[in-house]
Homo-oligomer: A and B are copies of this chain.
Amino acid sequence: MAGKVQTAITPTRAEDYPEWYQQVIRAADLAENSPVRGCMVIKPWGYTLWENIQRVLDGMFKETGHKNAYFPLFIPISYLQKEAEHVEGFAKECAVVTHHRLEMGKDGKLAPAPGAELEEPLIVRPTSETIIGAMFAKWVQSYRDLPLLINQWANVVRWEMRTRLFLRTTEFLWQEGHTVHATRDEAMDETMKMLDVYARFAEEYMAMPVIMGEKTEGERFPGAVNTYCIEAMMQDRKALQAGTSHFLGQNFAKASEIMFLDEKGERIHAWTTSWGVSTRLIGGLVMTHGDDDGLVLPPRLAPSHVVILPVIHKEETKAEVMQYCENLARELRGVHYDGRCVQVELDAREGRGGEKVWGWIKAGIPLRLEVGPRDMAADSVFVGRRDQGPKEKYSAKRAEFVAGLPALLDEMQKGLLERARAFREANTVRIDNKDDFYAFFTPANKDKPEIHGGFALAHWSGEREVEETLRNDLQVTVRCIPLDAPAEDGKCVVSGKPSRQRVVFGKAY
């Protein structure tokens, strides 16, 4: 394999993207599968990333007037039945609690106690519209109680047959916003406001460019009037739905009897919304920025920003180098970046230097500082940037490095967004005939079905049949009807029927 560059992750993205994804997560120690089918364990490096996501989003929710609360994990089966479409969409695969006690059997094994069967089985929440609706019906009495703006951080369970870490797991962590409004317009404003919060978060913090759009009827949340989403392109050119915001109209208010006395004294049904993002975002982050050497973390969400690696060749310089590194760590921790102190790791573990450096590259930390006696003598640091090749290191004067750190992190953050945006642009094509469309989505290499064209901006008549055909033929769906697309008359790329707007077609995670 002459000329092949050695990479830290095997296989590379080009060789086997799905396997690359698993290996990056493993190499960065973000998470792993648990012995419980479909449930993952989120390890400290991955969980700190989630905490950072939570911290920022939580701040954005509170700034927009929302308050956190907590609702039960369990939902009585009968609640699911209240909203007809909701049943259809969510009744199928979920964890059902049928007993409330275990008993030791004669075989010495624990088993559900026959005498402890629940009168009404409970399901573990797959989403909380119905149980929260039941509470809101009590809380909302008058227009003075509105708007009611609530968010919940919680775990949810959807029994999945095929799971992948972060992208699709039986249990996952998320937030679900649930709001109640006096008018249709206010509920719609809220729906769009939160979609906008998600888009800003994705672009400004995750450095992940997204398209804001509306879902087609077939892809709507069960029970919603309209579902809006942010869609991002991963490096295999597939689409990831990264967040959704639902305008629920009066559907759930009617199902749960959320009614209020308006200013005229009439008792009417309220309008509701719900919106959520989950630990899936971490999967999106990995697939947006990761490279063949592993994870690449956007600085604003990175668990740590800088690792200091003392280079110690001789025992007699060890104490001095360590002292220098400790002082440097303290100095760096005093620097503010994006509303928090710079987070610094000082890696004083025993072990080979190269292995340690590569460990941090795979973990995606934005900056590596190698510090040995020579750097110390020159009062400098030897800097490696994660957004550059592993060998493009440079020496910087310590004081200058410290002073310039926030700007450097900002530059890296922006660079990641630009790179991801350029990738998406390069793989998004306007297509106006069916043959081109089919060719675009047909993998050149049958062994790598995941490598295809990317996003197609094409006309669609709005027909369900066209969606079905494309799903069956190509596994392609309308990812969204983009909000910012100009009105443009055209003909459906498949049926030839008239269309007023291009939509985004893609293969989805």
Interface, chain A (partner B; CB < 8 A): 32, 34-36, 39-44, 47-48, 50-51, 67-81, 87, 91-104, 109-112, 121-124, 131, 134-135, 144, 150, 154-155, 157, 159, 171, 173, 349-350
Q: In the complex, are the beta carbons of B74 and A102 less than 8 A apart?
A: no
> How many Å lie between the Cα of A391 and that of B77 in the bound state?
51
Note all chain B residues with C-beta closer than 8 A to A95: 74, 97, 99-100, 122
> How many Å lie between the Cα of A456 and that of B100 in the bound state?
37
Q: In the complex, are the beta carbons of B48 and A67 less than 8 A apart?
A: yes
Q: In the complex, are the beta carbons of A150 and B44 less than 8 A apart?
A: yes
Note all chain B residues with C-beta closer than 8 A to A50: 70
Note all chain B residues with C-beta closer than 8 A to A154: 155
Q: In the complex, are the beta carbons of B100 and A99 less than 8 A apart?
A: no
Note all chain B residues with C-beta closer than 8 A to A76: 35-36
Give the most central of A76, A79, A94: most B CB within 10 Å: A94
Which of B35, B39, B134, B171 is in CB contact (< 8 Å) with A35?
A: B134
Q: In the complex, are the beta carbons of A98 and B69 less than 8 A apart?
A: no
Note all chain B residues with C-beta closer than 8 A to A102: 77, 80, 91-92, 94, 96, 123
Q: Select from chain B the residue with minimum beta-carbon distance to A279.
A: B70
Note all chain B residues with C-beta closer than 8 A to A43: 69
> How many Å lie between the Cα of A44 and that of B157 in the bound state?
24
Q: In the complex, are the beta carbons of B72 and A171 less than 8 A apart?
A: yes
Q: In the complex, are the beta carbons of A99 and B101 less than 8 A apart?
A: no
Subset of 14 A-B contacts with CB under 8 Å:
A34-B71, A34-B131, A34-B134, A39-B73, A44-B67, A47-B67, A73-B124, A80-B102, A81-B109, A91-B102, A94-B100, A96-B102, A97-B124, A144-B349
> How many Å lie between the Cα of A74 and that of B36 in the bound state?
7
Other 10 A-B pairs with CB < 8 A, given A47-B67, A80-B102, A99-B121: A42-B70, A44-B68, A47-B69, A47-B70, A70-B173, A73-B171, A78-B109, A91-B110, A92-B101, A98-B112
How often does this chain occur in the complex, in copies? 2
Q: In the complex, what's the smallest C-beta–C-beta distance from A331 to chain B, in angstroms?
A: 20
Q: In the complex, are the beta carbons of B93 and A96 less than 8 A apart?
A: no
Q: In the complex, are the beta carbons of A101 and B93 less than 8 A apart?
A: yes
> How many Å lie between the Cα of A47 and that of B80 in the bound state?
26
Q: Which 6 A-B pairs have the closest CB atoms?
A: A39-B72, A44-B67, A96-B99, A42-B70, A100-B159, A36-B72
Note all chain B residues with C-beta closer than 8 A to A67: 44, 47-48
Note all chain B residues with C-beta closer than 8 A to A171: 72-74
Q: In the complex, are the beta carbons of B73 and A155 less than 8 A apart?
A: yes
Note all chain B residues with C-beta closer than 8 A to A134: 34-35
Q: In the complex, are the beta carbons of B77 and A159 less than 8 A apart?
A: no
Q: In the complex, are the beta carbons of B34 and A135 less than 8 A apart?
A: yes
Q: In the complex, what's the smallest C-beta–C-beta distance from A27 to chain B, in angstroms?
A: 15
> How many Å lie between the Cα of A150 and that of B91 in the bound state?
36
> How many Å lie between the Cα of A40 and that of B51 in the bound state?
25
Q: Select from chain B the residue with minimum beta-carbon distance to A112.
A: B96
Given contacts A35-B134, A70-B42, contact A100 B96 (CB under 8 A): yes
Q: In the complex, what's the smallest C-beta–C-beta distance from A50 to chain B, in angstroms?
A: 8
> How many Å lie between the Cα of A35 and that of B132 in the bound state?
10
Note all chain B residues with C-beta closer than 8 A to A77: 102, 109-111
Q: In the complex, are the beta carbons of A112 and B104 less than 8 A apart?
A: no
> How many Å lie between the Cα of A55 and that of B479 in the bound state?
39
Q: In the complex, what's the smallest C-beta–C-beta distance from A146 to chain B, in angstroms?
A: 13
Which of B32, B97, B135, B144 is in CB contact (< 8 Å) with A96?
A: B97
Note all chain B residues with C-beta closer than 8 A to A97: 95-98, 124
> How many Å lie between the Cα of A68 and that of B34 in the bound state?
17
Which of B41, B109, B135, B350 is in CB contact (< 8 Å) with A70?
A: B41
Note all chain B residues with C-beta closer than 8 A to A103: 91
> How many Å lie between the Cα of A455 and that of B349 in the bound state?
50
Given contacts A35-B134, A96-B97, A102-B96, contact A72 B110 (CB under 8 A): no
Q: Select from chain B the residue with minimum beta-carbon distance to A44.
A: B67
> How many Å lie between the Cα of A69 and that of B36 in the bound state?
16
Given contacts A44-B67, A101-B93, contact A72 B34 (CB under 8 A): yes
> How many Å lie between the Cα of A36 and that of B122 in the bound state?
9
Note all chain B residues with C-beta closer than 8 A to A73: 39, 124, 155, 157, 171
> How many Å lie between the Cα of A218 and that of B173 in the bound state?
37
> How many Å lie between the Cα of A73 and that of B74 in the bound state?
13
Which of B42, B81, B112 is in CB contact (< 8 Å) with A110?
A: B81
Note all chain B residues with C-beta closer than 8 A to A69: 41-44, 47
> How many Å lie between the Cα of A371 and that of B77 in the bound state?
51
Q: In the complex, what's the smallest C-beta–C-beta distance from A71 to chain B, in angstroms?
A: 5
> How many Å lie between the Cα of A226 and that of B76 in the bound state?
39
